[in-house]
Amino acid sequence: MDFFNLHTHKGTNQANVLELVNQYPREFDSEIPYYSIGIHPWYIDKEQVEVDLAIIETKLKERNCLAVGECGLDKRIEIPLDLQQIVFEKQLLLAQKYNKPVVIHCVAAFQEIIETKKRLLISVPMIIHGFSKNEQLAKQLLDNGFYLSFGKYLLQSRSLGTALETVFKNVPNNRIFLETDTVDEGIEKVYEVAANCKEISIVAMQEIVKSNFTTVFNNKHQ
């Protein structure tokens, strides 16, 4: 593995890239080598939640299911937050049961995410995917044990000169991941931009992410 892509919705099957492809319980593709699986808050169907959770639990027993997610909370959608919270908590408890990391989708609900982690005593790694916020929030998340994954917003920051570049530069190396999510650019481009932000080589960036992968995913899939 030369590159690890923490979160993508479409695998590219490159030999040198390990991709954590996001899967949904009722749209499962068994041909995907490595994946995360979860109920995204956008797609919660109250009548299907228990069925979806049963599918997720079955998949969590498989070796190539590396994480739960993406799952989380989103205050900018119509699905009631209390329902989102219930579904999120059930997925966190499954992650804890099967010792799997969690890929988090969060929109305007970071305090709720932090509170939930504390209240449920979640000890498995939790990774905020697509981080795009300020240094103060980054520090609060890091202080509460979260990892931060950067991708499309970091690419935009590099071209637009926004503050996220500085935020990324100041995140400790042992708490970062990189991803493509839905962007057209490959993960190699994200690594290039990330390395430039940190003022290190791409090889050094690869070593940082590989080390974090080993820590979070228990070194089972390199």
- Show binding-site residues for a divalent metal cation: 70, 105, 129, 181
From the centroid of its chain, how far is CA 59? 18
**Which among 101, 125, 113 is positioned nearest to 37, based on CA atoms?**
101
**Residue 131: C-alpha distances to residues 46, 105, 107, 136, 148 (Å):** 28, 9, 10, 13, 6
- 114, two tokens: 């932090």
Distance CA 18, CA 213 (A): 10
What are the binding residues? 70, 105, 129, 181
**Tokens 């119509």 correspond to what residue?**
78
* Helix, strand, coil percentages in the chain from 3-state DSSP, rounded to 5: 45, 20, 35
Q: 202-216 vs 187-198: helix axis angle to the nearest 10?
A: 110
Is the previous residue joined to 70 through a cis bond, with omega within 30 degrees of 0? yes
CB atoms within 10 A of CB 39: 27
